[in-house]
Each structure stands twice: as C-alpha cells, then as structure tokens.
Structure 1
Amino acid sequence: MVDVVREIERKYEAEAGTELRELPAMDRLPGVAATADTGPVALDATYYDTEDGRLAAHRTTLRRRVGGGDEGWHLKLPADPRDPGVRDEIRAPLADELPRELAALVRSRVRGAPLVPLMRLCQRRTARELRDAAGTPLAEVSVDEVSAERYGPAGTTAEWTEVEAELAPGQDPALLDAVDELLRAAGLRSSASPSKLRRALDATAWQEQEERPRPPAKRERAPKGEAPGTAADVVLAYVRTQVDAIVELDPAVRRDVPDSVHRMRVATRRLRSAFRSYGRVLDRAVTDPVGAELKWLAAELGVDRDREVLTARLAERLDEVPRSLRLGPVTTRLRTFSQARRTGSRRHLLAVLDGGRYLALLDRLDALLAGPPLHRKTAERPAAGVVEKALRRDFDRLARGVGEALASGPGAHRDLAVHEARKAAKRARYAAEAARPALGKPAKQFAGQMTELQELLGDHQDSVVARAALRDLAAQAHAAGEPSFTYGLAYAREQAIAAEREAQLPGLWSRITRYAGGLTL
C-alpha cells in the first residue's frame, strides 16, 4: 500500500553550525498561532538510480530512508514543470527490497536497467512546526546537517547545512511566501540546488568525467528564447518533448491521475503527426513503423476514455429531455450499455504499460532521438523555409478534405468526409505547434485557427458516434419491452447539433482561408 503526498518546499543555504534557535520567531506569521520545536532526529537515506542516471535525467528521486516519522521507500516525481520545489512523494513501507508498486512507477524511466545504490545521505534534523489556533500543522521549518557519501570506487563525501521550509499537506502555499520573506530578512539565501540529492551529486562528482556513464537519450534543448537553426533542430525538439511527455506521464497513468491518460494519448498522436508532416526531415521508412506502434498505444490508452466520453455525452443529451418525456428506465439502460462496452480495464492498461511491446516502443523512441534518421539535404536547411512548406502541404491537404465535406450531400458520405477533414485539421495544428520555434506568432495563430476548426468538426463526429449509440440503445430498449421514445428525442437533438456544425463550417472555413491566404509564415 502506498501513500501520495504533494511536497511543496523551499531550501536555503546556511552556515555550518546554524541552530534552529537562531532562526527568527514565526508565531506571528499570518495564520500561525503557535510553534513547537522538535528534534534532533537522525535520518539515514540511500538513494538509487541506474548506472547511467536515468532517474536523474527525468528529475526523479528514489530513496530508502530509516528514521523519522515517515521512514520507508520514497519516490519523488515532478508535479509542476515550472516549480522544482513541487513534487509528488509516493511512500511505501520500509522493506529490504524496492516495493513492486514503486518499481512499476519507475519502469518507463529505467526499462530493464538495474537500480543500484548511488548516494547515502545522513542528516541530523531539528524542526519547528507551525500550527494554527486549532493545533493543525501548517508548515515545518528545519535545520538539516547533512553528510553525503557517494557509492562506488570513485566515491567521495561532502557535508553542508541547510534550512528547509515545507508546507503541510493541503495548506495555503502563501504561508511559504511569508516564511521566505522572514528567512531572507534574516540573511538566508535560496539554495542553488533543487534537492539534497542534486547538491550531493554535484558536490561529490567524479573527477574522471570521461568515465561517467551517460543516459540513453540526449535531452539537450536550445536555450530559452533562442530559435533552433535548422529544420532538424525544430522537428527533433518537438519529437523529444512528446517522447518526454509519454515517459513522464507513465506514472500518472498508473496512478489514475485525472486527465493523464488523455494527455499521454495526445502525446502519441502529436508524435505520429510530426512523423507524417515532417517526412522530408525524418525518414518515414524508419518513423512509419514507430508510428504504427504509437497508433497501437493510443488505441490501448483510448479504450475506456472513448467509452467514458461517449457515456457522458449520451447522459447530457438524455438529461436535456424534459422529465415528463423521459419514458422508461433510461438511466439504468445507459449504465448497462456503458458497462457492456467496457472492453478495457485498469488491469488491462497496467498490463500494457508493463508489457514488452510498450517498453520496446520507448526504447525505439530513445534510439530514434539518439540517432535521428535524417534526410540530410532537408534537415540541415534553415528551419523556417522547411517547416513553412510542411505547413502549406498540410493546409492544402486539409483544404481538399474540407472541400469534399462541403460538396457532399447529407448522409454517411458527408459524415466520413467531415471526419477525415477533422483528422487533417488536427495534423495541421500539430505541425504548426512544432513550427512555433521557427515561425513564431504566425504559427501560433495558425494553430489556434486549426484548433477552432478541429473542435467544430470534432463535435460533428462526436454527434455521429452518439447517434449510432442512441440507435443501439433504442433497439435494446425495444427488445426488452421498454419505451424507446426518449432515445429518439435525444437522437433528434444530436441530429440538430450536427446540422448546426455543418451550417457553421462554410463561414469558419471562409474565415480561415482568408487568414491563411494573407499569412506570411
């Protein structure tokens, strides 16, 4: 059994010998009614990683700690890319071996590489707990005397003292701002390292740098604000972002974090789209088989989500029917219908993520980034011209799809044409997202136009799927001797929604084509 704690903390440099009593009083901070000093407590933690630092490459920390009120195995995962001080700490009881729940959460990072002891950190901690008037803990400020020892034949040691302020679970982060102001006024400055492990790694770095193992895939990015120079730079940066997203979302999907499955699925789609849109930069003879595996993964991720989205839409339509016209057990019928369509399950999804096919896909993506299959003649050209041509090609493809949808008469052929146009709009949108570092604001605006079009066409497609489901519901109700009238009313509403979207399409498309025609990418 594991527990999850959202860790929000800040760290400060301190002189050796700093004591808790030397810190400023904190009982007058907003919301703080009392403080209590505790300690000292001895903490002894061993940190683990692969030989080539795969956890560190993904800002992930795994330790086994003895001592303190939370001793056990701790896995820390980044929770906010904008703030390294915010992490999710997943805790498991103390054991000799890594608990299988935590082993699963790091699998996308380590693959088959063994986890080995990397660093031992011993601390002497004295702490001050900040409490409200009811005695509820609000935050803790501690002084940590740290001794670090790196494992291995070239291991070295380091010692330092730091002050740490950590928010109690569920409390207002504004309190840390007040603590920060108080500590800075007392002369403390923020730590240059986001974590004790990072500081220990830097302080005990091997001297023989050329002998250090390397992570399996490059993670370099262009400096912030600086546009990459070549087409390869732009495309590979986008591909790398999506690969990182898949790997980093894996633990969230396993933990069933809201929206994580959808976000991971979108990352797979963005990757496949980039491979197709920028096939003159990356060799499709190599990327197409990888794209096929990404399509498989997206389908596995989408089984239950598609059912949930459809169920929610059907429930919304049925709820719109006046109560006096809701004949028969429509709520129960919908619940039964939804459960019958549940071909996936949490257990199945976890089996996919633990399976060899998925892990082999992650390895192939790493290999693709480590040795990109570039068409050198195109890939080495300045980015702007290459990505602009790719956008134009995708837009021309979209124009043909929308043209076919507009020319089609009502019925199944139009529904299919609208669906194909939606997929083309999504591809053009993702291509524009990838092009933003090279083309700037025009690419951002173009992506916004594609998003608007995609949403309109997507709502039409969702209506097509919902109407098919409502026909099935009506048939099942009829066969069971239940009234089917209510499903017919919901069907008519979905039919009206589709007609509204079809009526809106010409105007929206006219506006988009005028915009695209005058657009200088």
Structure 2
Amino acid sequence: MGRQREDPTVGDVLGEILRRTAAEVEDTAAAALADEPDGVHQHRVRVRRLRSVLGGFRQALDTRAAERLRVAYAEWGRELGVVRDIEVRADVAEEMLERAEIDDPAVRRRLVESERDLYPAAHERLVELARSPRSEERARLLREFVDPAVVDDPDQPAADVFAAVLAKQAQRVAKAEARLDGSDDAHHELRKAARRTRYVAEAIADVAPDLFPQEVEAIAEAGDDLHDALGGHRDAMLLAHRVAHEGALAGRAGELSDAYDTIAGLLRDEAEKRLAEVSPALRKLKAAASRLP
C-alpha cells in the first residue's frame, strides 16, 4: 500500500523538489546560451533557486555533497551575473533617460550604448565557459546528487522538517535585518536571505501544496516582495554611482553634465522608494512564520 497523500515524508517531497529544481536548471541552459530573449535571466533565476534549495534544506541532505554543488553553481551564477548585470544596467539607464525626458546622444552613448557594446563579448565568454570541462563536471555533480535523491532520514514526516526549515529561514532574515546599518552591503545580505526564504517556500508550495498552504504562500510572497524591493534598491544605487562617475568624465571631456545629476537624483529617489517597501514585507514574513506549526 502506498503512503497516504496527506502524510508525505521528507524523502518523498524533498527528492521531488531536487529533481524539479535540477530539471529547471538544465531546461533553461540552452536558451541562455543561445541568447534568446530573457534567456540568461531565466537561467540565472533557476541557478539561484537551486542554490537556495540546497542551502535551505541543507540539514536534511548530504551536507558535504550539497555544499560542493552549491559552490560549483555559485561560480556559474557569478558568470551569468556578469552578463545579466550588463542587461540590467542598460535597461535601467534607458528607463531613467525616458523618465527624465533626456534625449542627448552623448548621454545615451555613455549610459546605455556603452553597456550594450559590452554584451556580445560577455555572452560569448559565457558560451565558452559552458563548453569547458569545469562546466561538464558541474553538470555531472548535479546529476549524481539528484538521481539518488540523497536525503538523510528520508522517512521523517515532511511537515515537521519543512516547518523547521521555513522557521530557520525566517530567523535568517531576522538576523540580517538586525544587522542593517544603512550600508548597501547590509541590504544585500538581507536580500540574499529573503531570496533563499522565497525559493524554499515556493519549492514546498510547488511539490507539497497541502503542507500549511496559507503560511507557505504568505512567506513566499513576503520573500518575493523583499527580494524585489531590495533588488530594485541595489540596482538603483549601483547605477547612481556609475552615473555620477560618468558625469564627472563627461565634464572633463567638455560635455554638458547636468543630465547626469538629474538621472542620479532620480535613481536615488527610486532607491529610497524601494527601501520603503522593505518594512511591510518583513512584517508580513514574520507574521506568517509565527503561524507555522
């Protein structure tokens, strides 16, 4: 007789989470390497989700093997980030130019076109790295980790383990919040904690939707809100620094630089706006975590 649907085990659920997460990484790789629209972004998201799942469920897995895989995909994620960040910087700069109603070819060249000029070479390097022995080894490690679904004590009730996992992720977010000191680095650490919490909750909801669904959904939504707000804050602040730098270079080259001050101001305003979204999301996450069994 099969196990009752309402009483899944860790082995049942976590094994399926790992298989689905790994499949998403593999399934999105081709589009990223072919440079299809949004391909790099979607593959990077799946790589981050994999790393979050491995980190969030670490205590229920072969810890050493999980960490080895996380490190391997952290390296690949950084390479994807180089390419994706070029896209983001160019897109955000273009949006700011439109918002400020600035139609200056010199400004556009410095802030938008210069970034897009970097993209082909960066993507070509990504493709070369994907063909390397290191990439083949990374894929092999993932297959060997997922195929047997190495879960410690697989017969434990999934509800007990996953409630503890979610509570731990919420605590990780709370600790990152307590370390906030106004710096970009501290906000980035909070964002990473929120991202892992979100992806862990989404993975549980996807595979085991009957496990405390209201709490899991609220935690996933709050984690998404935090991740989005802090990501928007980080993108705006990084670009504001770059705009100020390019403005200084433009001034030295004898170009008009007022537009750069305008854009940097808009970016700082956007960063503050996104930061204001953080506290409500934190309250939502804490409230949902407090209702976990």
Q: Same fold (TM over 0.5)?
A: yes
Q: Secondary structure at the match of 1:482?
A: coil
2:234 is aligned with 1:465:
no
Task: Tell me how far apart the structure 2 counterparts of residues 306 and 271 of structure 1 sit (CA, whole Å).
Answer: 20
Task: Tell me how far apart the structure 1 counterparts of residues 35 and 120 of structure 2 sit (CA, whole Å).
Answer: 18
Residue 359 of structure 1 is matched in structure 2 by 136
Task: Tell me how far apart the structure 2 counterparts of residues 338 and 477 of structure 1 sit (CA, whole Å).
Answer: 16
Which structure: greater helix fraction? 2
Q: What is the CA distance between 1:282 and its match in structure 2?
A: 0.8
Alignment partner for residue 449 of structure 1, among 203, 209, 222? Answer: 222
Deviations 1:395-448 (A, max 9, x none): 01101212332xx3x4xx2x2211111111100011112222162522123211
Residue 110 of structure 2 is matched in structure 1 by 333
2:8 is aligned with 1:239:
no
Task: Tell me how far apart the structure 2 counterparts of residues 350 and 242 of structure 1 sit (CA, whole Å).
Answer: 22
Amino acid at match of 2:49: R
CA RMSD of superposed structures (Å): 2.5
Task: Tell me how far apart the structure 2 counterparts of residues 468 and 399 of structure 1 sit (CA, whole Å).
Answer: 29
2:202 is aligned with 1:429:
no
2:289 is aligned with 1:520:
no
Q: What is the CA distance between 1:477 and its match in structure 2?
A: 1.1
Q: Secondary structure at the match of 1:329?
A: helix
Task: Tell me how far apart the structure 1 counterparts of residues 77 and 11 of structure 2 sit (CA, whole Å).
Answer: 25
2:155 is aligned with 1:380:
yes
Q: Secondary structure at the match of 2:292?
A: coil
Residue 493 of structure 1 is matched in structure 2 by 266
Residue 166 of structure 2 is matched in structure 1 by 391
Q: What is the CA distance between 1:356 and its match in structure 2?
A: 1.5
Q: Which runs of 5+ in 1 are unaligned?
A: 1-221
Q: What is the CA distance between 1:249 and its match in structure 2?
A: 2.2
Amino acid at match of 1:400: K
Amino acid at match of 2:81: G
Whether the 8 Å contact between 1:463 and 1:498 is mirrored in structure 2 is yes
Task: Tell me how far apart the structure 2 counterparts of residues 400 and 513 of structure 1 sit (CA, whole Å).
Answer: 12
Task: Tell me how far apart the structure 1 counterparts of residues 98 and 276 of structure 2 sit (CA, whole Å).
Answer: 25
Q: What is the CA distance between 1:336 and its match in structure 2?
A: 4.8
Change (3 A) 1:458 1:347: closer
Q: Which has the greater radius of gyration? A: 1
Q: What is the CA distance between 1:344 and its match in structure 2?
A: 4.4
Which structure: greater strand fraction? 1
Q: Normalization by structure 2: what TM-score?
A: 0.88
Residue 319 of structure 1 is matched in structure 2 by 98
Task: Tell me how far apart the structure 2 counterparts of residues 335 and 499 of structure 1 sit (CA, whole Å).
Answer: 23
Q: Which moved more, 1:473-482 or 1:424-433?
A: 473-482
2:75 is aligned with 1:296:
yes
Task: Tell me how far apart the structure 1 counterparts of residues 243 and 196 of structure 2 sit (CA, whole Å).
Answer: 30
Q: Higher relative contact order by CA 8 Å / sep ≥ 6: 1 or 2?
A: 2
Whether the 8 Å contact between 2:91 and 2:112 is mirrored in structure 1 is no
Task: Tell me how far apart the structure 2 counterparts of residues 382 and 489 of structure 1 sit (CA, whole Å).
Answer: 57
Q: What is the CA distance between 1:270 and its match in structure 2?
A: 1.1
Amino acid at match of 2:253: A
